[in-house]
Structure 1
Amino acid sequence: MLSLLLVVSLAARGLGATPALPASYAIWAADSAISRGQGNGLNASGAPLVSYEHGELQWALRLLYEKTGNKDYFDYIQQGVDRVVTSNGTVIGGYGFTTDYQLDPIRTGPTFLYLYNVTGQQKYKTAADKYRQQLETHPRTTQGQFWHKLRYPNQGWLDGIYMGDVFYAQYTHDFQPSNTSAWNDIQAQFALMYQNTLQNATSPPHLLYHGYDHSHTASWASPDRGHSPEVWDRALGWYMMALVDTLDIFPTSHPGHDALLSILRTLAPRVRDAADPTSGAWWLVITQPGRTGNYFESSGTAMFVYALLKGVRRGYLHDDGLVAAAKKAYRYMTSNWVVANADGTMNWLNTVQVGSLDGNGTFEYYTSVPTDVNDLKGLAAFALSSIEYERLR
């Protein structure tokens, strides 16, 4: 499904000419993922799968469809969702409501809402209703923070804000715009995570730890607020993307909009300053730059580029060097993590497979996890960052 302009651009690579830049890295990344069948609502064995990674890619494909009018993107989104949503709106693909109480699957919820708004098919609304029902009974800390998963009692992870609360906001916007309690709750999810994971003033770079255990029972929980010991780039990236995406949805008349804006405006310059000054990229473990074993990680870097560029474009952030920082990081990404293949697709490098607080949350843990080629968490983030970067032209 490589676009004509992209194929023409890539063809120069095989004709002895100076390698040409692709017409659009966003299209190249998306088309490459589609050509490999990534994010298609199926697992590696061909069985239906509800996956937050698929939801992340679907968000990028939606933006590309709106930008290009290429219906192939819309069709791929719909085909993927139709593999996990039955004709009566039942969500299959491993989704467990009361048995699992995970926030991760809900990341596909914005796609359900999008398809309902575009097609009017009731099954997508029914599926979204099920996710919304989950939030009604989802376990919470005594402060009101959603647990990341049932198996992690009283733990809030930055990841969960992106997984659950963008959907929560979109559903409220679409069907319950006057539900003040829901808007208050969405604001509280962001605020509680921020308050419980923010590094102390004496702990640069003054960003957010990966998560916290409100019960202080996890082995990694700090004495003060129960936070984990390190700032992991992708967790912070999820949170930053959630901020800029939710601000698009959150009513400006509600005080929560200004509260989210304040968090974003506090974090964005700190994210900018945490980038490596030479490469412009961000370290896997941001709290320990340059330490042996640490490295520049691609998914978090792409997420920061997306959040910074979108934040400035939408007027949520003053530039203050944010665009220059994002451009520098983007150039590093395309020079070091994008590899052209002979078949016209691209590979994406250096995305860490996973980061969890299931263990001890140490530097040694994060740096021990392997990286993958074409990991969708990073590739989709690169497509999103490329969409924003290409808006600068």
Structure 2
Amino acid sequence: MPGLMSWTTATSLLLSSWITICSARPSSYAEWAADSAIRRKQGNGLDTSGSAIVSYEHGELQWGLRQLYEKTGNKTYYNYIVTGANNIVYDNGTVHGSYTISEYTLDPVRTGPTFLYLYQQTKQQKWKTAADTFKTQLNGHPRTAQGQFWHKKRYPNQGWLDGIYMGDVFYAQYTKDFQASNQTAWTDIVSQFSLMYQNTLQQPGAANYTGLLYHGYDYSHTAIWASSDRGHSPEIWDRALGWYLMALVDVLDIIPPSDAGRPKLLDILTTLAPRLRDAADPSSGVWWLVITQPGRAGNYFESSGSAMYVYALLKGVRQGYILDPDGSVVAAAKKAYQYMTSHWVVANADGTMSWTNTVQVGSLDGNADYAYYIGVPQVLNDLKGLAAFLLASLEYEKL
């Protein structure tokens, strides 16, 4: 019965391969995600051509690797952070690799927390000098008349949710480390969150109301997409909201417990958390790419935003920032996480994992309409999504 023997042999080989893959992968999804990124040389301060690049994605991954190192004691993760940072900072502390302060973009500043962390660990002056460069940028960074940092100099008067994560986690940590009594700085940091919230909060009566935050706003009302009331963009894009929520729970760890502005940050988080819970797709438990258009043709469940939400919700509850008396917030985050691991994690033959369904980018550089968001391609193993999954996994594994 050669046909049967052939089928049996093939099945046996497939089963053997699957057992090998499963036995090779770590039991922790956080470690599996980190180890896979490291195997692929992602987030190491270099672009795909090997040139130095100051990338917020790399800063996001390094934030996760730092927590993983603190959890496991595995020096591989710490050493990878050092390698990545060394690739973009010369020995004299000069930040290089595509970074120029005169561009006044918040995105590169997301690598700043890595410099501060390495200075804490090593006391090497180069890391303090590199961090000072980003603080100098923030000191002169253009702002709206209300005081909101522009996302980039080439987008005058525009505040994007993304920029809160890029700039203000660093701003808070730098203030804590070197200017802890600088009340003006703490007030300014809280103001960055508050102004973004006020200007992008979806109001009752809006179409597809969720009470969450639009992607960004133009204080000058001159952008093609700016609304007539506050100048906000027309859609709630999942990853922009994810950046903002992650920044909230991270900065709440940093800002002094006695700071007068801290209750404002807590109020924003506790207002948004149940609305985010309720905005999840009831069947899958995860979130749509364009949250304001659930189920519309072309929309899909997007993985980076969903992972960011799981991280923010679980960390918020764990740290006591979000009250969850009925357990519904944690239950929603757990449901989403289980969908993520069963649908977006792919085991590879080499023992690594791949991560799917992450949208490549989202910008307010065009008309910011629905067709734009769904037209952006998805990227396999996009670091913005993989690093968010690492962070979500760290929190899930602490449950």
Return the TM-score normalized by structure 1.
0.95
Letter in 2 for 1:331: Q
- Kindly indicate whether residue 334 of structure 2 is the aligned counterpart of residue 331 of structure 1: no
Aligned position for 1:92:
96
Q: Distance in 2 between matches of 1:103 and 1:239?
A: 14
**How far did 1:346 drift?**
0.4
Aligned position for 1:387:
394
SS in 2 for 1:248: helix
Q: Distance in 1 between matches of 2:260 and 2:268?
A: 13
| Runs of 4+ more than 4 Å apart | 15-22
Which of 34, 37, 54 is matched with 2:38 structurally? 34
Q: Distance in 1 between matches of 2:245 and 2:186?
A: 19
Q: Could you list the runs of 5+ residues in structure 1 that have no partner in the other structure?
A: 1-10
Aligned position for 2:307:
302
Note the 1:333-348 alignment, pairs <5 A: 333-348=340-355
Which of 252, 262, 274 is matched with 1:269 structurally? 274
Note the 1:1-393 alignment, pairs <5 A: 14=17, 22-98=26-102, 100-203=103-206, 204-319=209-324, 320=326, 321-392=328-399
Q: Distance in 2 between matches of 1:362 and 1:118?
A: 45
Query: Is the contact between residue 150 and residue 156 of structure 2 (CA under 8 Å) also seen in structure 1?
Result: yes
Query: Is the contact between residue 21 and residue 350 of structure 2 (CA under 8 Å) also seen in structure 1?
Result: no
**How far did 1:149 drift?**
0.1
Q: Distance in 2 between matches of 1:189 and 1:290?
A: 33
Letter in 1 for 2:371: E
Return the TM-score normalized by structure 2.
0.94
SS in 1 for 2:346: strand
Residue identity (%) = 71
CA RMSD of aligned residues (A): 1.4
SS in 2 for 1:255: coil
Q: Distance in 2 between matches of 1:385 and 1:18?
A: 23
Letter in 1 for 2:392: S
Query: Is the contact between residue 201 and residue 214 of structure 2 (CA under 8 Å) also seen in structure 1?
Result: yes
Letter in 2 for 1:205: T
Q: Distance in 2 between matches of 1:41 and 1:16?
A: 34
Q: How many residues align?
A: 381
Residue deviations 1:106-127, cap 9 Å, x none? Answer: 0000000000000110000000
Residue deviations 1:192-236, cap 9 Å, x none? Answer: 000000001223101000000000000000000000000000000
Q: Distance in 2 between matches of 1:202 and 1:315?
A: 32
**How far did 1:14 drift?**
2.3
Residue deviations 1:301-349, cap 9 Å, x none? Answer: 0000000000000000112411000000001000100000000000000
Query: Is the contact between residue 252 and residue 258 of structure 1 (CA under 8 Å) also seen in structure 2?
Result: no
Q: Distance in 1 between matches of 2:353 and 2:139?
A: 42
**How far did 1:253 drift?**
0.8
Q: Distance in 1 between matches of 2:165 and 2:16?
A: 38
Letter in 2 for 1:219: I
Query: Is the contact between residue 272 and residue 325 of structure 1 (CA under 8 Å) also seen in structure 2?
Result: yes
Query: Is the contact between residue 212 and residue 272 of structure 2 (CA under 8 Å) also seen in structure 1?
Result: yes
Residue deviations 1:125-147, cap 9 Å, x none? Answer: 00000100101110000000000
Aligned position for 1:3:
none
Q: Could you list the runs of 5+ residues in structure 2 that have no partner in the other structure?
A: 1-13
Letter in 2 for 1:341: N
Q: Distance in 2 between matches of 1:15 and 1:34?
A: 22
Query: Is the contact between residue 12 and residue 19 of structure 1 (CA under 8 Å) also seen in structure 2?
Result: no
Letter in 2 for 1:175: F
Structure of higher CA gyration radius: 2
Q: Distance in 1 between matches of 2:125 and 2:18?
A: 51
